[in-house]
Amino acid sequence: MSYDLRTVVAVFVVGLLVGGGGVAYVLPAATTTGPTSSTGVATGCTADPPAGPSSYLVRVPGGETTTFVFNRTYAHEAAALDFDATVENPAPGVYVYRIASSPDADAEKTPPEDCTPVSRLDGVATVPSDYETFRVVFDGRTVASVENDGSHVILRRLENGTA
């Protein structure tokens, strides 16, 4: 059985139209932007620990989303820590980047005598740009709160290591 070129092209075009219409029907017409986050941590030893934590928060608006970059460097007693970070939306327009640390169960229980463990946490959270308030809560304590007052970039130093 042979088909002429016109029949093959017509079947192909009809297939494209039906397939494209099916995809357009299945996919949403508008996309929604939910909160997302990512966190990275490095821990090491120092003989000269910082006097206190050093933290900053950066806000970078970008169209439908706003990205927050959070950094915290601090000394602690546990040899190594585990971190859990999530972005929560407890009320309309309110976003909380909640970070919790706990001693790493798989690490040594105590650091060597000449070592003060220091961790540097870098986190990124993205929320819809129509947020009202964005807060960073670290180990149960609010360390930053930003009201949505426009679309400009901000850099806030939260702690300076001299506390």
**Domain-embedded: residue 39:** yes
**Domain-embedded: residue 94:** yes
State residue 25's pLDDT score: 44
**Domain-embedded: residue 19:** no
- Please, what is the Cα angle at 159 between 86 and 92, to 5 degrees? 35
Burial 101-135, CB ≥16 within 10 A → b, else e? beeeeeeeeebeeeebbbbebebbbbbeeebeebb
**Domain-embedded: residue 22:** no
pLDDT in tens, 14-70: 444 444 444 444 444 444 566 888 888 888 888 777 777 888 999 999 889 999 999
Domain membership of residue 57 as a residue range = 34-105+114-157
pLDDT in tens, 74-116: 888 888 888 899 999 999 999 999 999 888 877 767 777 888 8
**Domain-embedded: residue 139:** yes
**Domain-embedded: residue 162:** no
Total structural domains in the chain?
1
**Domain-embedded: residue 28:** no
